[in-house]
Amino acid sequence: MRTKTIYILSLFPDYFDSFQNSGVISKALNGERSSEFSLNLEIINIRDYSLGNYKSVDAYPYGGGAGMVMRADVLANSINEGIIKQFEISREDLHIIYPSPRGHTFDNKMAKKISKKIFNENEKELVFICGRYEGIDERFLQNYVDEYISIGNYVLTGGELATMSILDASLRFVEGFLGNKNSNIEESFQDNSIEYPQFTKPREFEGLCVPEVLLGGHHKNIQEYKIEQSLEMTKKFRPDLLEKTIES
Ligand code: ADE
């Protein structure tokens, strides 16, 4: 079985506990999703790589300003000692991602690219740096970061949630990761449209019935219904996606 490791640098590793221990992600981490591929997350505590007597991981910004800034030397030490030395990987084999509002906004296309980096052999090892406080010393970013990714035009208090969002959405595209092979083909946004509505038991709920066509077992009619409903839902909830389809 081939195992891919993703490295995450964080000051709050506990954030990743439920991410790692629940649902489909935990199954992938335990090698239960595929017989040929399993995933391993190495969550590295940046604090373990602090330097000097005071063991500080952050400091006041030069020139003043609100809050603290994460130190370049501590982050570099986490990469050099915590990944390169400990796991015997060379710097050239790392692809270092810093989730930050300065990046391009994450979408399905980027998720697919990342999923290829995760799944394919001969791809670099992925490293995610979770920023905290008011940010990271620019000199670290300049020397170490290969890619910035934003998850939207707002500012989170830290990069942990952004890292989990990026990984969660990307892992869904990793081969063998989803139980049902069709589920990500049919999933929202695949073709600039959102998903058709879903129904399950009971057949009647508060006076609302499951659409008749879904109960009939006529495969072609069901497919047509799903396509038509997907279009209807997109028109109603996300008409901007239809404009995108026309543009592309
Ligand atoms: N860190 C803080 N805010 C962020 C955002 N919007 N996207 C990615 N990383 C972030």
**Binding site membership of 156 for ligand 1 (Cβ less than 6 Å):** yes
Domain containing residue 229: CATH number: 1.10.1270.20
Of the pLDDT bands very low, low, confident and very high (cuts 50, 70, 90), residue 69 is: very high
Residue 48 lies in a domain: yes
Helix (H, G, I), strand (E, B) or coil at 74: helix
Q: What does the pLDDT read at residue 187?
A: 63
Q: What does the pLDDT read at residue 245?
A: 66
Of the pLDDT bands very low, low, confident and very high (cuts 50, 70, 90), residue 67 is: very high
- Are 215 and 118 found together in one domain? no
Of the pLDDT bands very low, low, confident and very high (cuts 50, 70, 90), residue 37 is: confident
Q: What does the pLDDT read at residue 246?
A: 65
**How far is it, in rounded angstroms, from Cα 103 to Cα 131?**
13
- Cis omega (within 30 of 0) on the bond before 239? no
**Binding site membership of 152 for ligand 1 (Cβ less than 6 Å):** yes
Pocket mutation for ligand 1, best pick of 106, 154, 161, 167 (most atoms within 8 Å of C-beta): 154
Residue 177 lies in a domain: no
Place of tokens 């999923």: 115
Q: What does the pLDDT read at residue 185?
A: 54
Helix (H, G, I), strand (E, B) or coil at 73: helix
Instruction: For 60-186, list the strands marked E by DSSP.
Output: 69-70, 94-105, 125-129, 147-150
Residue 181 lies in a domain: no
Q: Cβ distance 143 to 77 under 8 Å?
A: no
- Are 27 and 147 found together in one domain? yes
Residue 178 lies in a domain: no
Q: What does the pLDDT read at residue 239?
A: 95
- Are 159 and 233 found together in one domain? no
**Binding site membership of 62 for ligand 1 (Cβ less than 6 Å):** no
**How far is it, in rounded angstroms, from Cα 96 to Cα 84?**
12
Q: Which helix H or strand E contains 238, and what residues bound it?
A: none
- Are 165 and 238 found together in one domain? no
- Are 122 and 25 found together in one domain? yes
Q: From ligand 1's centre to the CA of 158, what distance in Å?
A: 7
- Are 157 and 234 found together in one domain? no
Instruction: For the chain, list the strands marked E by DSSP.
Output: 2-10, 37-45, 58-59, 69-70, 94-105, 125-129, 147-150, 204-205, 208-209
Q: From ligand 1's centre to the CA of 113, what distance in Å?
A: 19
Residue 176 lies in a domain: no
- Are 17 and 117 found together in one domain? yes
Nearest to 2 by CA among 49, 53, 36: 36
**Binding site membership of 171 for ligand 1 (Cβ less than 6 Å):** no
Give, as one character, the DSSP assignment of residue 15: G
Nearest 5°: phi and psi at 129? -105, 120
Q: What does the pLDDT read at residue 149?
A: 98
Last residue of a domain, one of 171, 198, 223: 171
Helix (H, G, I), strand (E, B) or coil at 71: coil
Q: Pick the range with the lowest mean pLDDT from 67-81, 210-224, 230-244.
A: 230-244
Q: Cβ distance 68 to 55 under 8 Å?
A: no
- Are 133 and 197 found together in one domain? no
Beta bridge partners of 39: 4
Residue 6 lies in a domain: yes
Last residue of a domain, one of 140, 171, 202: 171
Q: Cβ distance 111 to 190 under 8 Å?
A: no
Give, as one character, the DSSP assignment of residue 198: -
**Structural domain boundaries, residue 216:** 190-247
Pocket mutation for ligand 1, best pick of 8, 150, 168 (most atoms within 8 Å of C-beta): 150
Residue-wise pLDDT for 211-232, tens only, equals: 999 999 999 999 999 999 999 9
- Are 129 and 24 found together in one domain? yes
Residue minimizing CA distance to atom 10 of ligand 1: 100
Of the pLDDT bands very low, low, confident and very high (cuts 50, 70, 90), residue 189 is: low
**How far is it, in rounded angstroms, from Cα 103 to Cα 79?**
21
Pocket mutation for ligand 1, best pick of 110, 128, 141, 155 (most atoms within 8 Å of C-beta): 155
| pLDDT-above-70 percentage for the chain | 93
Residue 224 lies in a domain: yes
For 102, half-sphere exposure in the C-beta direction (CA atoms, 13 angstrom radius) is 11
Q: Is the pLDDT of residue 150 over 60?
A: yes
Domain containing residue 17: CATH number: 3.40.1280.10
**How far is it, in rounded angstroms, from Cα 242 to Cα 239?**
5
Nearest to 163 by CA among 177, 147, 174, 176: 147
Of the pLDDT bands very low, low, confident and very high (cuts 50, 70, 90), residue 198 is: very high
- Are 138 and 217 found together in one domain? no
Residue-wise pLDDT for 155-188, tens only, equals: 999 999 999 999 999 999 988 777 655 566 566 5
**Binding site membership of 104 for ligand 1 (Cβ less than 6 Å):** no
**Binding site membership of 151 for ligand 1 (Cβ less than 6 Å):** yes
Q: How high is the mean pLDDT of the chain?
A: 93
**Binding site membership of 165 for ligand 1 (Cβ less than 6 Å):** no
Structurally, how many domains does the chain consist of?
2
- Are 152 and 194 found together in one domain? no
Q: Pick the range with the lowest mean pLDDT from 130-134, 138-142, 156-160, 235-239.
A: 130-134
Residue 82 lies in a domain: yes
Place of tokens 């296309």: 109
Pocket mutation for ligand 1, best pick of 105, 134, 156, 157 (most atoms within 8 Å of C-beta): 156
Kindly state the average pLDDT of the residues 112-128.
95
- Are 125 and 219 found together in one domain? no
Atom of ligand 1 nearest to the CA of 155: 3
